C-alpha cells in the first residue's frame, strides 16, 4: 500500500466586507465618541478650526452631519494608501505633524467612526500646496453585504483641478444618520468637545464650532468650557516626577474678599509646596505627569457668590459642574476618552466611605497631562474609551489619588476653621449630666419633685451613655477587624493551598499507586499538613482576642507580650517593606482588656507602616518604648517616615480626617477613644526617638500591675 503524498502550501486572510461596519459599531461605542474621533483627525491635520454642521431631519435614517476643517487636507495618494488602509502605520512612522503637534491616534481605526455615525460618507479634500480637489464616496451600507469580500467593494473617487481661491482642508458629509439627535445628545456632545483639548498646557489654537437647526440653537456656536470651571474654590497644580515625588502648589479662594476684587487677588496660595514621595525608593513605572485639580463646594452658600459674579443661578452652575467635572487625562494635549460614567477613579465611592474628607466626581475638574513618549506603558483601549488595564495604569491611578489627598487635606482645614483639638479629651467625657443637674438645683433648691426627676433622669442618662459606649466599642472592633481581614487573607491563603494540595496528592496516590507506596508517602504528606495546620492555628490564636467573645474581661499580661503578638500579625508586611522594628526589652505587667490594647498597638503600627512605605527603603524604622510611672502606663510609637505636616497637626485626631488617599480617618480616633476609656490620652509629640511621627499613649487607671 503506497503512502499518501505530503502536500504543502500557504493561504492568506481574506476578510469579508462587513468587517468595516463591525469595527465601526464595536470599536466606536456611540455617535458622540465617533464625532470626537473625527474632530481629532482634524487636529492631526494641523487644522486651527473644525465646524460640525447638523441638517434636519436629525433622525435615524435621515439628515446629515458635515465635519469641515481647515487643515492640511489629503492627496489622492494619501486617501488610497494611508486613509483606506485599516490599521495603517502612517501615524506611527510620523508621530508629529507639520507644525509639531503630537498626533492623537496611532491605531489607524479612527476613520471607522464615520461608519458609526451614518450610512454614507462623502469626502472632499484639498491638500496643502496641492493642485487638485479630491472627492471620494463610501457607502458603508454596501459593506453589510455578507456575500462580498473586503477587496470586492469598490469606492468611487474623482480628482479635478483645484478651484482658484479655495483653501486646504477636508469636508466629511455623513448622510443617513444611524441615530436620532436630541437635546440630551447635544448637551453631552458640547460637554465632551469642550474638554477635548487640555486648557492647562501650552497654548495651541484649535476651535470647534457647532452649526445647528433652530430648535437646538442654544447648543450652537463655539464650543468652550463653562465659565465656572475657571473659578474653583480650591486648586492644586504641579507635577509628579519620574521618581514618584509630588511637587505642587495649593491655592484657595479668600471668601472675605469682595466679588469685585480681581480673581488673582482672591485666590490665595498657602506658600507650602508639598514635595512628598509617593512610593519610596522606586522609580515611577507609569512615568512623570503634570496635573491641575480644581474643586468646588456645591452648597448654596458656596455657589451663591459665584452665581452672582457670573450672572447665573445656582441650578445652572450645578448643571455646568455636572457636565464639566471629572478627571480628564490628556496625552500630548488631547483628551483620552474614558468610560461613559467618567468616574474611572471611583471618587464617588471614596466619598460614600468618608463624606467628611473626600470630594465626589461632580465637585472636581482634573486635568492630567501625560505624553506618548514619557508614558509609553499607558495605551488606549481599542474601543477608544479608556486606558488598557495594566500595572502601570494601576500605579498611575494610585498616584493620582495620593495627589488628590493633599488637596482634600487642605480643603478640610479651610472648611472647618477648627481650633486644634487636645488629644486627651475623650468623646464620652463630654457627655456629663452633672452640670445641668447642679444648675437646676441652684435655681429651684426646694423643689422636691424636680429633684426626684433630676435624679431619675441622671440615672437614665448614665445608663444610656454606658449602652452607647458598648455599641461604640463594638464598632471599634469592627473597624479594626476590617483591616485584619487582609492579614487573614494573606497569611491564611498559603497554608490552606498547601493543605489542599497535599490532600489531593494523597488522594491520587491511593487511586494510582500500590498500597505499599501509599504508606511510604503518607508520613511526609501528613507532616506537611500538620505544619500548615499549626500555622493556621497560630494565626487564629493571635486573632482570637479581636473576636469580642471575651470583651470586657481584663486579663493578666505584659506590655511586651501584647506588642509581640500584635507585631506578629503585621510580620509579613514588616518583612516585605524591610522595616526594622525595635521593641522594648522590659516586661511591664498589666491587667487590661487584651483586644483594646491590641487595637491601640495595631492602629499605631498600621499607621507607621503606611507612611514608611512612602519613604526610601533604606532607613525604614519603628521604635516602641514603654514605661510605668507611678500608676500610669506610657507607650511611645515612633517612625522614620515623613512625619505629620504642621498644617494638619490639629486635625489628625478628628473623626474621618485622613491624609491617606483611601483613608477612612478612624484609626487614631479608635486609639484616642480607647485610651480615654482608661482615663488616658493619645498625643502627637514634637520630638521622639525617630525623625518621623511620634505618638504617645497614656493609660491612667484600670491597668493593674505593680508600680515599677
pLDDT tens digits, 176-191: 999 999 999 998 899 8
Predicted pLDDT of residue 573: 85
**Furthest-apart CA atoms within the chain: distance in Å:** 127
Confidence class for position 425, pLDDT limits 50, 70, 90: very low
Dist. CA 705–CA 626, nearest whole Å = 14
Mean pLDDT of 692-706: 81
Confidence class for position 493, pLDDT limits 50, 70, 90: low
Contact 624, 694 (CB under 8 A): no
Predicted pLDDT of residue 422: 46
Confidence class for position 528, pLDDT limits 50, 70, 90: low
Confidence class for position 124, pLDDT limits 50, 70, 90: very high
Mean pLDDT of 272-290: 65
Question: Which residues lie across from 237 on neighbouring strands?
Answer: 249, 292
Alpha-carbon distances, residue 190 vs 31, 276, 367, 581 (angstroms):
13, 37, 18, 56
Classify residue 387 by its DSSP letter: B
Predicted pLDDT of residue 420: 43
Q: Where is average pLDDT lowest: 101-110, 312-321, 441-450?
A: 101-110
Predicted pLDDT of residue 423: 44
Residue 639 pLDDT > 60: yes
Predicted pLDDT of residue 426: 47
**Domains defined along the chain, listed by start:** 19-222 (3.30.565.10), 227-416 (no CATH), 477-699 (3.30.565.10)
Dist. CA 179–CA 411, nearest whole Å = 43
Predicted pLDDT of residue 142: 84
Helix, strand, or coil (residue 330): strand
Could you tell me which residue, 133 or 449, shows the higher pLDDT? 133
Q: Where is average pLDDT lowest: 18-27, 180-189, 258-267?
A: 258-267
Mean pLDDT of 530-543: 56
Would you state the cell numbers that stand for residue 51, as one nine-digit string? 465646524
139-196 per-position pLDDT tens digit: 888 878 888 887 788 888 898 888 777 889 999 999 999 999 999 999 889 988 888 8
Could you tell me which residue, 412 or 277, shows the higher pLDDT? 412
5-21 per-position pLDDT tens digit: 788 877 777 777 777 76
Dist. CA 135–CA 133, nearest whole Å = 7
The residues, any chain, with a CB within 8 Å of residue 211's CB and separated by 6 or more, are: 51, 52, 53, 54, 220
Residue 113 pLDDT > 90: no
Confidence class for position 225, pLDDT limits 50, 70, 90: confident
Mean pLDDT of 503-509: 67
User: Average pLDDT over the chain, rounded to whole?
Assistant: 79
Dist. CA 682–CA 582, nearest whole Å = 21
590-607 per-position pLDDT tens digit: 888 887 888 888 889 989
Spell out a b/e string for 341-374, using b for 16 or more CB atoms within 10 Å of the CB, else e.
ebbbbebbebbeebebbbbbbbbbbbbbbbbeee
Predicted pLDDT of residue 277: 59
Predicted pLDDT of residue 163: 79
Would you state the cell numbers that stand for residue 675, as one nine-digit string? 485610651
Cα 427 to its chain centre, rounded Å, is: 32
Confidence class for position 472, pLDDT limits 50, 70, 90: low
Residue 70 pLDDT > 90: yes
The residues, any chain, with a CB within 8 Å of residue 562's CB and separated by 6 or more, are: 590, 594, 597, 598, 601
Mean pLDDT of 569-588: 89
Residue 626 pLDDT > 90: yes
pTM flag (> 0.75): no
Residue 562 pLDDT > 50: yes
Dist. CA 234–CA 87, nearest whole Å = 43
Predicted pLDDT of residue 59: 94
Confidence class for position 378, pLDDT limits 50, 70, 90: confident
Confidence class for position 708, pLDDT limits 50, 70, 90: very low
Predicted pLDDT of residue 707: 46
Alpha-carbon distances, residue 380 vs 116, 377, 629 (angstroms):
19, 10, 62
Contact 246, 406 (CB under 8 A): yes
Per-range mean pLDDT, top range of 206-220, 461-475, 558-572, 600-614: 206-220
- How large a percentage of the chain has pLDDT more than 90? 23
CA angle 227, 195, 223 (to 5 degrees): 60
End-to-end CA distance of the chain: 102
Amino acid at each position: 500500500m503506497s503512502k499518501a503524498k505530503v502536500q504543502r502550501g500557504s493561504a492568506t486572510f481574506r476578510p469579508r466586507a462587513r468587517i468595516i461596519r463591525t469595527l465601526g459599531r464595536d470599536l466606536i461605542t456611540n455617535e458622540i465618541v465617533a464625532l470626537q474621533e473625527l474632530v481629532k483627525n482634524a487636529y492631526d491635520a494641523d487644522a486651527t478650526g473644525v465646524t460640525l454642521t447638523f441638517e434636519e431631519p436629525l433622525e435615524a435614517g435621515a439628515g446629515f452631519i458635515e465635519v469641515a476643517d481647515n487643515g492640511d487636507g489629503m492627496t489622492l495618494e494619501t486617501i488610497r494608501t494611508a486613509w483606506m488602509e485599516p490599521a495603517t502605520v502612517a501615524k506611527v512612522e510620523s508621530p508629529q505633524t507639520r507644525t509639531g503637534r503630537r498626533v492623537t491616534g496611532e491605531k489607524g481605526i479612527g476613520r471607522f467612526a464615520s461608519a458609526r455615525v451614518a450610512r454614507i460618507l462623502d469626502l472632499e479634500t484639498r491638500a496643502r500646496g496641492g493642485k487638485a480637489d479630491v472627492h471620494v464616496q463610501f457607502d458603508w451600507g454596501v459593506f453589510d453585504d455578507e456575500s462580498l469580500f473586503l477587496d470586492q467593494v469598490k469606492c468611487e473617487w474623482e480628482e479635478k483641478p483645484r478651484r482658484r481661491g479655495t483653501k486646504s482642508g477636508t469636508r466629511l458629509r455623513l448622510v443617513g444618520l444611524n441615530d436620532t439627535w436630541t437635546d440630551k445628545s447635544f448637551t453631552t456632545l458640547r460637554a465632551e468637545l469642550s474638554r477635548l483639548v487640555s486648557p492647562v498646557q501650552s497654548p495651541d489654537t484649535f476651535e470647534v464650532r457647532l452649526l445647528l437647526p433652530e430648535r437646538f440653537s442654544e447648543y450652537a456656536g463655539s464650543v468652550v468650557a463653562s465659565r465656572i470651571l475657571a473659578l474653583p474654590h480650591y486648586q492644586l497644580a504641579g507635577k509628579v516626577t519620574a521618581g514618584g515625588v509630588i511637587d505642587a502648589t495649593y491655592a484657595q479662594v479668600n471668601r472675605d474678599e469682595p466679588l469685585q476684587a480681581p480673581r488673582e487677588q482672591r485666590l490665595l496660595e498657602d506658600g507650602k509646596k508639598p514635595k512628598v514621595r509617593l512610593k519610596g525608593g522606586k522609580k515611577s513605572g507609569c512615568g512623570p505627569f503634570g496635573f491641575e485639580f480644581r474643586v468646588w463646594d456645591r452648597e448654596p452658600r458656596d455657589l451663591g457668590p459665584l452665581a452672582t459674579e457670573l450672572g447665573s443661578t445656582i441650578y445652572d452652575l450645578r448643571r455646568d459642574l455636572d457636565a464639566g467635572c471629572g478627571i480628564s487625562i490628556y496625552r500630548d494635549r488631547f483628551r483620552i476618552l474614558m468610560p461613559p460614567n467618567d468616574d474611572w477613579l471611583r471618587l464617588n465611592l471614596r466619598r460614600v466611605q468618608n463624606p467628611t474628607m473626600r470630594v465626589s466626581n461632580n465637585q472636581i475638574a482634573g486635568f492630567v497631562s501625560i505624553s506618548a513618549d514619557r508614558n509609553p506603558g499607558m495605551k488606549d483601549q481599542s474601543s477608544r474609551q479608556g486606558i488598557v488595564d495594566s500595572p502601570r495604569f494601576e500605579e498611575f491611578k494610585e498616584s493620582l489619588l495620593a495627589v488628590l489627598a493633599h488637596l482634600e487635606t487642605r480643603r478640610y482645614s479651610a472648611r472647618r476653621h477648627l481650633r486644634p483639638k487636645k488629644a486627651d479629651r475623650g468623646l464620652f467625657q463630654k457627655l456629663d449630666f452633672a452640670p445641668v443637674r447642679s444648675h437646676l438645683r441652684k435655681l429651684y433648691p426646694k423643689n422636691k419633685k424636680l429633684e426626684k426627676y433630676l435624679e431619675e433622669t441622671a440615672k437614665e442618662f448614665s445608663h444610656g451613655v454606658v449602652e452607647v459606649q458598648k455599641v461604640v466599642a463594638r464598632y471599634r472592633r469592627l473597624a479594626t477587624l476590617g483591616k485584619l481581614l487582609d492579614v487573614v487573607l494573606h497569611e491564611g491563603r498559603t497554608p490552606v493551598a498547601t493543605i489542599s494540595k497535599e490532600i489531593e496528592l494523597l488522594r491520587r496516590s491511593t487511586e494510582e499507586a500500590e498500597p505499599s507506596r501509599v504508606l511510604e508517602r503518607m508520613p511526609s504528606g501528613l507532616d506537611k499538613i500538620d505544619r500548615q495546620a499549626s500555622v493556621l492555628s497560630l494565626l487564629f490564636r493571635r486573632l482570637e482576642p479581636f473576636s469580642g467573645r471575651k470583651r470586657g474581661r481584663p486579663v493578666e499580661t505584659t506590655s511586651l507580650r501584647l506588642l509581640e503578638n500584635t507585631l506578629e500579625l503585621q510580620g509579613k508586611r514588616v518583612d516585605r517593606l524591610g522595616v526594622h522594628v525595635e521593641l522594648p526589652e522590659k516586661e511591664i505587667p498589666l491587667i487590661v482588656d487584651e483586644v483594646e490594647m491590641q487595637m491601640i498597638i495595631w492602629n499605631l503600627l498600621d499607621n507607621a507602616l503606611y507612611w514608611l512605605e512612602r519613604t526610601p527603603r533604606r532607613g525604614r524604622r519603628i521604635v516602641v518604648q514603654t514605661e510605668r510611672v507611678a500608676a500610669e502606663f506610657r507607650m511611645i510609637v515612633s517612625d522614620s517616615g515623613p512625619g505629620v505636616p504642621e498644617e494638619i497637626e490639629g486635625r489628625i485626631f478628628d473623626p474621618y480626617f485622613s491624609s491617606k488617599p483611601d483613608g477612612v480617618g478612624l484609626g487614631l480616633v479608635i486609639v484616642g477613644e480607647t485610651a480615654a476609656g482608661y482615663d488616658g490620652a493619645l498625643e502627637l509629640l514634637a520630638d521622639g526617638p525617630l525623625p518621623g511621627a511620634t505618638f504617645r499613649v497614656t493609660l491612667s487607671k484600670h491597668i493593674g500591675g505593680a508600680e515599677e
